Every structure is written in structure tokens, then in C-alpha cells.
Amino acid sequence: MKLEHKKQKVVPLSRFFKRVLKYFYLTCILILLSLIIGVTGYCHFGGLELIDSFHMSSMILTGMGPVAEMKTEEAKIFSSFYALYSGVAFLSITAVFFAPIIHRLLHILHVDDE
């Protein structure tokens, strides 16, 4: 998904909204993949039920913190690495979502008036 160069004109609003929608879909896919990783790991390593694994993954991914105690070493290791991944993933996914909006704002501010 390529963005226009600062020397090009600002894209029309309709095209901008399509671009935002594409980036929104991409962020949804990234969130879904991150949740699948977490749910699978917490089910397998943590021995949690599916709904509890989803709850735990959602809370960790958004930075809210754990809701269940990990009892085995494997579960604690997975939980630690998932928490590290989640910290980076959440910030990156947020950046992907806001990229076209920030780009448009900066593009408008840098376009020379003719």
C-alpha cells in the first residue's frame, strides 16, 4: 500500500477513506493473528479453556495484564514471550492503523499552495 510522495497532490477524500479501510482490514488481520497465537499458546501451555485463553490473550495483547496464573514453567515461558511480543505488536498495529491518517495530515501541511 503505497502512499503518495510529498510533491504529489493530496488524494481525494473518497480514495483516502478506501485507504483507511484497507489499513483497518490489515490491522484486524494482525490482531486476529496475534489473538490466535495467544489463544493457542494459553490453551496448550497454560491448560486454560478456550474462553479463558481468549480472555487472557486479549488482556495481555492490549497491555491490561494477566488474569490467570500460569502454573508450569512452560506456561510461564510462553506467557513471558507472548507479553513481550504483545507489547511490540500492540504499538506496531496501532502505528499501522494511524499511518494513512497521519500521512494525510503531514501531506496537507507540506503541500505548497499554488
| Contact indicator for 45, 74 with CB cutoff of 8 Å | yes
- Extract the C-alpha cell encoding 35: 489473538
**Which tens digit of pLDDT belongs to each residue from 3-15?**
777 777 878 888 8
**Which tens digit of pLDDT belongs to each residue from 20-54?**
999 999 999 999 999 999 999 999 999 999 999 99
| Contact indicator for 91, 104 with CB cutoff of 8 Å | no
Domain ranges of the chain: 13-107
Q: Which amino acid is at 90?
A: F
In angstroms and rounded to an integer, the radius of gyration of the C-alpha atoms of the chain is: 19
13-107: in CATH 3.40.50.150? no
